[in-house]
Each structure stands twice: as structure tokens, then as C-alpha cells.
């Protein structure tokens, strides 16, 4: 980020000192795989869609979840145990042959001789023989454990990532090595684990369901390079994280792109804008790299979730931004005018101040709206949701609040 507007410039009623480092990188890095015969640089020169193979890759362990093949669904969620009782050989009632009546016993119509004790007596002809015992009714089997009943399947793990940002769970990714140079319009990168950077030099490129790590030996600048500003770049359901942490590595740099449900962490600046026409939506920007001994900054790394140096028509909506040292969003106007910026429905925390706006040498900003955002309380400077180093910049504010319900007020310097 631009040093001229670092949060340590705040004085007076805001704070008197910057806290020491706010975040140490604590990431799970996979062991370095053997690239095989893959080239260091892959150049796509013909129209194509690059997709994952059907082979199941080994599980990929990342910051908070694992991408692995989804288990095959069970053929039945509940097993039914059916027991059929064996019927008797004949469905007719048992046949009983009555003994002949003794001489001298005369029974009237509708009566018959029935044995009674040591003698005989007359009784109703339909009276059951006391020597015949009815067969018991068959009983149904128990469904208690150990009887063969199949237990219900274990529920799937709950995805705790905000908006499910990153690679969807249950996918298997194909690993590719080397920087990917995209020169063909309409190229789609889908289902890849890229050990290299992606450099976009064509319009209408899509990157989805993938991880971009940078080279295994380390990479500088943006792991996605959109500095050429070709229109139509869309990055969705993707994770961006540096395999090798260093002072110079960022998430995505450039302009003319959309990020949707992207998980970016383990870099200095997650999003670094050098132009406009940008959408960042439902993404998770967190876990910035910070170095106290940064050779380019004697006061430590100037890391931000989003840095805007130049550009118009910028939309930042429904994201979670946390873990930076300087600011969640910093507007520097370091390279040109910034305007028509909408920051809405986000959750902020950490940084010196959550939102830091400076006019630089380009004068007051216009068309900046900050709406319906939720601000955490763990900024380095107390009560510093917004700081504005531009007295002439008028902000459109509505619906913002701290987590304790208090409405934040911008601090003008």
C-alpha cells in the first residue's frame, strides 16, 4: 500500500501509538510436490476450457477445510428389516375328534357329549375342547442395536466459511505447475490446483473452482495479474493463497474484474486496484501477511484487505474483511481519481481503522457511499470505523453500526 496514508499517521483524539503486529500468518502449507515434466510456463494459444480430470486427487489440506472426492451416496438412507412369519401347514382350525357319547347319556339337539372330569356331560355343540391350546400370534422383531438395523447416515460437515467462499467442498482438483499465461479470449480455468500465477492477457476469462498458490519457489505481485485490464474477467468459487509467504505477494492486482465467493488469505494485500469497473461480492478476505522487518517499510508491512489507488465504478458488497494491519479498505488516490464507490453490507474488523480514505494529490473524492456495514471493535485506534484525510470529501452514510449497536462517526483529519 501507499506509505503516505498509513494508519500510523493518526494522532490526537484517535490514538497515540500503533499496536504491535496484529496477525501472524498461521497457515497449513502442503509439502512441495514433484512437478514431473510440466513446463514452468503454460501459454494457452487456442480457444479452450481447462477442466479437472476424472481421476481422484489426494486430499488438499488448506486453511480450514479439505477438498476431496465426495463419497458415493448410500443406496438407501434407511434399511427396512422385513420378517415374514411362517404360516402353519394348514390354515384350517385344528381338527378335534370328539369321543363317542357313553351309553345312557342323551343330549338334546344343539348339544354334544363333552368330557368333564372323570365323566361326561352334555354341553353346547360349539364349546371349545379344553384340551386344545391356540397357537400364539407371531411377534414382530425388535429394532434395537445388534439386530441388523442400519443406522442413519452421518450428517455432512457444516461449511463455516462466510458465504461458502472458496472451492466448493467435495471437489477433486487437477494440479498444474508453472505460471499460466492466458492469451486466448474466453478461456475457462475450472477445477485446477495451480502452483503458479495466472496472468490474464485476454478478455472474458473465467477462473472457477480452483486454487491459485503461486510458484512453489515463491512468487511476487498478484497471484492473479489483471494489470492489463482486459474486460470480462470473472473469478468465482476460488481460493487464492501464497504457498511461499513473502513481503511482495498480493492476491489479485489490476482492474476490470469481478470476484464472487473468493477466499483470499496468506498474502499482503488481498485486492489491489489500479483502475475501476470492479465488483467484490460475498468474498472472504482475511489472514493478511505482516512482517515487522519488511525491508520496504521500516514500520512494518502495510497490508490491507482492499487497496484502491485509482478507478471509478467500484462495488464492494456482502464481504467479510478482517486480519489486516493497516485497513480493511484504504483509498489512496495514489495513481489517479477515485469515485463512484459503493461499500455496502460488509463485516469489518482489525486494521488501524476499518476504512481509510485519502485524497492524495487528486483532490476530494465524489460519490462514495458507505451503507449498512457492521464494524468490529478491535481496530488499533479506538472508535475508528472510518478516517478521512480529505475535508472536502462528503460521504453518503446510512445503516452502519458497530457490533455493540453504536452508530460510527467518520473522523476527519
* pLDDT value, residue 116: 57
412, with CB counted inside 10 A (0-12, 13-18, 19+), is middle
Q: Quick one: pLDDT at residue 412?
A: 94
pLDDT (0 to 100) of residue 158: 84
Per-residue pLDDT, averaged over 376-400, amounts to: 95
Domains and CATH numbers, the chain: 3-34+41-67+159-412 (2.160.20)
pTM: 0.66
Answer whether 308's CB lies under 8 Å from 274's CB. no
Residue 115: what pLDDT?
Answer: 58
pLDDT of residue 304: 93
Alpha-carbon span 138 to 200, nearest angstrom: 74
- The band of 297, judged by pLDDT with boundaries at 50, 70 and 90, is confident
DSSP for 102-147, please give it.
PTT----TTEEEEEETTEEEEEETTPPPTT--PPPPPPPPP-STTS
Per-residue pLDDT reduced to its tens digit, 39-72: 334 444 334 444 443 333 333 333 333 333 333 3
Report how far residue 381's alpha carbon sits from residue 259's, in angstroms, rounded to the nearest whole number. Answer: 30
pLDDT score at 149: 67
pLDDT at 157: 78
pLDDT tens figures, 114-170: 655 556 666 655 444 444 444 455 555 555 555 566 777 878 778 889 899 999 999
> Tens digit of pLDDT for each residue in 5-48?
343 344 444 333 333 333 333 333 333 333 333 333 444 433 44
- More confident call, 179 vs 138: 179
- Beta bridge partners of residue 195, listed in sequence order: 177
pLDDT at 293: 80
Quick one: how many helices (H) and strands (E) in the chain?
0, 33
How many CB atoms lie under 10 A from the CB of residue 21? 12
- Identify whether the C-beta of residue 1 lies closer than 8 Å to the C-beta of residue 271: no
Per-residue confidence (pLDDT) for residue 224, from 0 to 100:
98
Over the stretch 359-382, which tens digit does the pLDDT of each residue have?
999 999 999 999 999 999 999 999
Average pLDDT score over residue span 214-234: 95
Average pLDDT over residues 257-279: 97
* Mean pLDDT calculated for residue range 323-346: 96
Model confidence at 90, in pLDDT bands (50, 70, 90)? very low
State the average pLDDT for the chain: 76
Q: Examine the pLDDT at 259 and tell me if it is beyond 60.
A: yes
Of the listed ranges 79-93, 97-111, 117-131, 243-257, the least confidently predicted one is 79-93
Arithmetic mean of pLDDT, 84-104: 42
Better pLDDT: 218 or 90: 218
Amino acid at each position: 500500500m501507499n506509505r503516505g496514508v498509513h494508519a500510523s499517521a493518526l494522532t490526537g483524539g484517535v490514538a497515540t501509538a500503533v499496536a504491535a503486529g496484529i496477525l501472524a500468518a498461521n497457515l497449513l502449507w502442503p509439502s512441495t510436490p514433484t512437478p514431473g515434466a510440466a513446463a514452468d510456463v503454460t501459454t494457452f494459444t487456442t480457444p479452450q476450457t481447462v477442466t479437472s480430470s476424472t481421476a481422484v486427487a489426494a486430499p488438499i489440506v488448506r486453511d480450514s477445510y479439505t477438498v476431496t472426492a465426495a463419497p458415493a451416496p448410500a443406496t438407501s438412507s434407511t434399511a427396512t428389516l422385513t420378517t415374514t412369519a411362517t404360516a402353519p401347514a394348514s390354515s384350517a382350525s385344528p381338527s378335534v375328534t370328539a369321543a363317542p357319547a357313553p351309553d345312557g347319556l342323551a343330549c338334546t339337539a344343539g348339544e354334544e357329549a363333552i368330557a368333564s372330569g372323570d365323566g361326561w356331560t352334555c354341553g353346547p355343540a360349539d364349546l371349545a375342547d379344553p384340551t386344545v391350546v391356540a397357537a400364539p400370534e407371531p411377534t414382530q422383531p425388535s429394532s434395537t442395536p445388534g439386530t441388523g438395523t442400519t443406522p442413519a447416515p452421518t450428517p455432512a460437515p457444516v461449511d463455516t466459511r462466510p458465504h461458502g467462499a472458496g472451492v466448493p467442498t467435495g471437489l477433486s482438483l487437477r494440479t498444474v505447475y508453472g505460471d499460466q499465461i492466458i492469451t486466448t479470449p474466453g478461456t475457462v480455468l475450472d477445477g485446477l490446483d495451480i502452483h503458479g500465477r495466472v496472468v490474464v492477457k485476454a478478455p472474458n476469462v473465467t477462473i472457477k473452482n480452483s486454487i491459485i498458490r503461486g510458484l512453489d519457489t515463491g512468487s511476487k505481485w498478484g497471484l492473479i495479474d489483471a494489470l492489463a485490464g482486459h474486460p470480462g474477467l470473472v473469478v468465482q468459487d476460488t481460493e487464492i493463497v501464497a504457498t511461499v509467504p513473502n513481503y511482495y505477494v498480493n492476491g489479485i492486482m489490476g482492474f476490470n474484474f469481478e470476484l464472487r465467493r473468493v477466499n483470499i488469505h496468506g498474502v499482503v494485500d488481498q485486492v489491489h486496484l489500479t483502475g475501476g469497473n470492479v465488483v467484490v461480492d460475498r468474498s472472504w478476505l482475511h489472514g493478511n501477511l505482516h512482517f515487522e522487518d519488511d525491508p520496504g517499510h521500516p514500520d512494518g508491512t502495510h497490508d490491507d484487505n482492499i487497496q484502491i489507488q485509482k478507478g471509478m465504478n467500484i462495488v464492494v458488497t456482502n464481504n467479510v474483511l478482517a486480519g489486516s494491519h493497516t485497513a480493511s479498505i484504504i483509498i489512496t488516490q495514489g495513481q489517479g481519481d477515485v469515485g463512484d464507490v459503493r461499500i455496502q453490507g460488509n463485516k469489518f474488523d482489525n486494521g488501524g481503522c476499518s476504512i481509510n480514505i485519502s485524497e492524495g494529490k487528486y483532490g476530494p473524492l465524489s460519490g462514495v457511499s458507505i451503507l449498512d456495514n457492521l464494524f468490529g471493535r478491535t481496530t488499533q485506534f479506538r472508535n475508528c470505523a472510518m478516517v478521512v484525510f480529505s475535508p472536502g470529501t462528503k460521504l453518503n452514510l446510512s445503516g452502519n453500526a458497530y457490533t455493540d449497536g453504536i452508530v460510527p462517526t467518520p473522523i476527519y483529519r
